[in-house]
């Protein structure tokens, strides 16, 4: 009945119901898998609105999906229902280079936008490591970050307006230039629980005049993170400050031959993009801080090719850990930057206590840690250890004044740990927003909110 009505409205080509098709949409990059009852591939905002109306009539939940690279089960259809996959809505609708903005469909792959803007001397700044596959819609829904968010900010700082379909299938628009509440700001990062993004107006930036990339090697990850804290404390904000520890560097080099030193306990990747006039001064300042904090070597990438290789290695790091263990669990936490050494020490202690191998590759400049816990999912004991260590890391970072997700989101995975950070009252205020946009909880149910939080509790 449900599928039949969707086929009638959108055509058979846009609706998938075969079990082998549904299986593909049962999971994202998080391990939990749950089957949808139907998958819809809309071609337009109108298709989305029509599909949402039909889902409503049939009492089916609606889960939007970009590329499925999310790491917290955000795109998993937790209560079944309809998955709306944006794979066919992947066009750039307008590239306004003069005013440095673009209007894009949600299924556009992140990197494709920067590629398309480059000939005009522009780029799209938010660059998740998954940018070759993840979509702008998914990025908006998760407020994605990336290595370059240190100086450019995260996705929300680059979204100017949205076209959306609401819980009832009605199209609405928001813009940061409209008078009234900043709905754009509130909708970015809402993980598909408030409305479905059907187009986004985003800001493009002028390509920097000059870019330099340096690699510093350290004895251990504590020295590297101490260096990052010192760079920030000195009021120097490069465009990117990324750390990889020994375990990660070894697999990255084995997979990519990126050019990182193999004899170090940790490496720090530094990028500064800006005006040629400032480059030497910056380099001197950062190199000095690195050497004061125990850098054992310092090297500048000499060419675009060398820079690209270093970045390709960094962005491919998580995937390269396949060489170490059949599975990895990537944690995502954020702490004040002066607390980086303490947070890393807590990560190390927790991994040791549970006899797990941990690799660290992270957006150090933002205080955003990504411990990768290696395991084999066929071994129940290891799975349990990973879950316990993951939770200990969350608690340790909260105790250090940090938070339980810096960029990957809460989704399905972390909803029950939200109360580590927020009180019942804090969550009830969020639930009021949910109540306004999705009173029947049809949009991505079972996400973000711990089971049982509703705004009814405070009324």
Partner 1 sequence: MMIEQRPAKVGPAGAAELGAFLKDASERGDVLEIQGGNTLASMGQPVQAAHTVLSTQKLRRVLAYEFENLTVSVEAGLTLRALRALLAERNQFVPLDAPRAQHATVGGTLAAGWLGPRRHLLGRSRDYVIGSRVALADGTLVAAGGMVVKNVTGYDMSKLYIGSFGTLGVLVSANFKTLPLPAQARLFTARLPEHSWLRTLTHVGELEVPPTAALWVHGFSKSIAGDDGTDGRVMILLEGSAALIERGTRELRAALGRGGVPETAIHNEGARDLFERALDGYVAPTGQRSITYRIFGTPDNIESMVREVYGLAREHALAPEAIADILNGDIAFRLSAKDARAFAERIEAFDDALHASYARAQIIAGQSPVRPSLNLWGELPPAIEKMRALKVLFDPARILNPGRFIGGI
Q: Which of 136, 258, 153 is nearest to 205 (CA)?
A: 153
Residues 389-428 that bind ligand FAD (CB under 6 A): 407-408, 411
If one counts every other C-beta atom within 10 angstroms of the C-beta of residue 70, the result is: 28
Q: Which is nearer to ligand FAD, 63 or 156 (CB)?
A: 63
* Positions of E strands within 97-249: 101-104, 122-123, 159-165, 171-175, 196-203, 205-206, 210-218, 240-245
Residue 444 binds to ligand FAD (criterion: CB under 6 A): yes
Q: Which of 328, 366, 450, 332 is nearest to 72 (CA)?
A: 332
Q: Which helix (H) or strand (E) holds 101?
A: strand 101-104
Pairing between β-strand 240-245 and β-strand 327-330 as defined by DSSP bridges? unpaired
Residue 344 binds to partner 1 (criterion: CB under 8 A): no
Residue 102 binds to partner 1 (criterion: CB under 8 A): no
Reduced to 3 states, what is the DSSP secondary structure of residue 95?
strand
Let me know: does 445 contact 79? Beta carbons within 8 Å: yes
Quote the CA–CA distance of 445 and 34 in Å, as a whole number.
Answer: 13
How many CA atoms are closer than 13 Å to the CA of 165, on its beta-carbon side? 25
If one counts every other C-beta atom within 10 angstroms of the C-beta of residue 21, the result is: 13
Residue 135 binds to ligand FAD (criterion: CB under 6 A): yes
Count of residues near partner 1 by CB under 8 A: 77
Quote the CA–CA distance of 459 and 443 in Å, as a whole number.
Answer: 23
Residue 142 binds to ligand FAD (criterion: CB under 6 A): yes
Contact partner at residue 298 from ligand FAD, partner 1, none, CB < 5 to 8 Å by partner kind: none
Q: Which is nearer to partner 1, 117 or 190 (CB)?
A: 190
Candidates 68, 77, 169, 189; binder of ligand FAD (CB under 6 A) is: 68
Q: Which is nearer to partner 1, 249 or 393 (CB)?
A: 393
Quote the CA–CA distance of 276 and 299 in Å, as a whole number.
Answer: 19
Contact partner at residue 138 from ligand FAD, partner 1, none, CB < 5 to 8 Å by partner kind: ligand FAD
Contact partner at residue 406 from ligand FAD, partner 1, none, CB < 5 to 8 Å by partner kind: partner 1
Closest separation between CB of residue 249 and partner 1, Å?
23
Residues 6+ apart with CB under 8 A from 111: 127, 131, 132
Residue 365 binds to ligand FAD (criterion: CB under 6 A): no
| Helix count and strand count (H, E) for the chain | 15, 20
Alpha helices by DSSP H, 258-379? 276-292, 304-315, 317-320, 340-353
Residues 194-253 that bind partner 1 (CB under 8 A): 194, 209, 229, 232-233, 235-237
Residue 108 binds to ligand FAD (criterion: CB under 6 A): no
Q: Which of 436, 395, 437 is nearest to 194 (CA)?
A: 437
Residue 141 binds to ligand FAD (criterion: CB under 6 A): yes
Quote the CA–CA distance of 312 and 252 in Å, as a whole number.
Answer: 9
| Displacement of CA 326 from its chain's centroid (Å) | 23
As given in the structure block, the two tokens for residue 194 are 């408030």
Residue 189 binds to ligand FAD (criterion: CB under 6 A): no
Residue 64 binds to partner 1 (criterion: CB under 8 A): no
Candidates 38, 89, 165, 188; binder of partner 1 (CB under 8 A) is: 188
Residue 129 binds to ligand FAD (criterion: CB under 6 A): yes
Quote the CA–CA distance of 220 and 266 in Å, as a whole number.
Answer: 5
Residue 278 binds to partner 1 (criterion: CB under 8 A): yes
Q: Which of 196, 193, 197 is nearest to 431 (CA)?
A: 193
As given in the structure block, the two tokens for residue 403 are 């938070």
Residue 371 binds to ligand FAD (criterion: CB under 6 A): no
Contact partner at residue 70 from ligand FAD, partner 1, none, CB < 5 to 8 Å by partner kind: ligand FAD
Residue 122 binds to ligand FAD (criterion: CB under 6 A): no
DSSP output for 64-86? EESSS--SSSTTS-TT-SEEEE-
Candidates 10, 51, 102, 183; binder of partner 1 (CB under 8 A) is: 183
Q: Which of 159, 190, 196 is nearest to 47 (CA)?
A: 196
Candidates 15, 38, 41, 71; binder of ligand FAD (CB under 6 A) is: 71
Residues 66-95 that bind partner 1 (CB under 8 A): none
Quote the CA–CA distance of 123 and 387 in Å, as a whole number.
Answer: 38
Residue 133 binds to partner 1 (criterion: CB under 8 A): no
Q: Which is nearer to partner 1, 63 or 335 (CB)?
A: 335
| Displacement of CA 1 from its chain's centroid (Å) | 36
Closest separation between CB of residue 13 and partner 1, Å?
32
Q: Which is nearer to ligand FAD, 77 or 95 (CB)?
A: 77
Q: Which is nearer to partner 1, 131 or 405 (CB)?
A: 405
Candidates 268, 358, 427, 443; binder of partner 1 (CB under 8 A) is: 427
As given in the structure block, the two tokens for residue 98 are 């003069």
Candidates 192, 359, 367, 371; binder of ligand FAD (CB under 6 A) is: 192
| Contact region with partner 1 (CB under 8 A), list: 6-14, 62-70, 306-314, 363-371 | 363-371
Contact partner at residue 237 from ligand FAD, partner 1, none, CB < 5 to 8 Å by partner kind: partner 1
Contact residues toward ligand FAD (CB under 6 A) are 28-29, 63-71, 74-75, 86, 106, 128-130, 134-135, 137-139, 141-142, 144-146, 191-192, 196-197, 318-319, 407-408, 411, 444
């Amino acid at each position: 009945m449900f599928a039949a009505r969707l086929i009638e409205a959108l055509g058979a080509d846009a609706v998938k119901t075969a079990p082998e098709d549904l299986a593909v949409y049962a999971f994202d990059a998080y391990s939990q898998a749950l089957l949808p009852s139907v998958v819809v591939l809309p071609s337009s905002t109108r298709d989305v609105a029509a599909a949402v109306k039909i889902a409503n009539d049939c009492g089916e939940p609606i889960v939007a999906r970009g590329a499925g690279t999310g790491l917290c089960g955000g795109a998993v259809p937790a209560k079944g229902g309809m998955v709306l996959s944006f794979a066919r809505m992947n066009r750039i609708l307008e590239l306004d280079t003069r005013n440095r903005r673009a209007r894009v469909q949600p299924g556009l792959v992140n990197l494709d936008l920067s590629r398309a803007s480059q000939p005009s001397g522009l780029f799209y700044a938010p660059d998740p490591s998954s940018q070759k596959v993840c979509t702008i819609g998914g990025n908006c829904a998760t407020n994605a970050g990336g290595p370059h968010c240190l100086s450019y900010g995260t996705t929300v700082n680059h979204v100017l307006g949205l076209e959306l379909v609401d819980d009832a299938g009605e199209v609405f628009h928001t813009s940061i230039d409209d008078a009234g509440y900043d709905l754009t700001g509130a909708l970015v990062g809402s993980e598909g629980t408030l409305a479905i993004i059907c187009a986004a107006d985003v800001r493009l930036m002028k390509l920097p005049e000059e870019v330099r990339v340096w690699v510093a090697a350290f004895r251990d990850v504590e020295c590297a993170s101490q260096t990052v804290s010192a760079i920030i404390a000195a009021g120097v904000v490069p465009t990117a400050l990324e750390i990889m520890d020994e375990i990660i560097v070894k697999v990255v080099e084995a997979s990519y031959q990126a050019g990182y030193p193999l004899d170090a306990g940790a490496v720090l990747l530094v990028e500064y993009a800006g005006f040629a006039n400032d480059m030497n001064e910056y380099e001197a300042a950062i190199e000095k801080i690195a050497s004061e904090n125990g850098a054992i070597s310092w090297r500048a990438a000499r060419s675009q090719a060398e820079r690209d290789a270093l970045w390709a290695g960094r962005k491919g790091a998580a995937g390269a850990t396949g060489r170490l263990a059949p599975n990895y669990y990537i944690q995502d936490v954020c702490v004040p930057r002066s607390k980086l050494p303490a947070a890393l020490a807590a990560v190390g202690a927790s991994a040791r206590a549970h006899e797990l191998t941990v690799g660290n590759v992270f957006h150090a400049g933002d205080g955003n840690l990504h411990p990768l816990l290696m395991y084999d999912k066929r071994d129940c004991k290891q799975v349990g250890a990973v879950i316990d260590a993951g939770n200990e890391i969350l608690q340790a970072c909260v105790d250090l004044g940090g938070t339980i997700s810096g960029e990957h989101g809460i989704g399905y995975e972390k909803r029950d740990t939200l109360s580590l950070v927020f009180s019942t009252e804090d969550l009830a205020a969020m639930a009021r927003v949910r109540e306004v946009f999705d009173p029947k909880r049809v949009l991505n149910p079972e996400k973000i909110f711990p089971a049982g939080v509703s705004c009814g509790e405070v009324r």
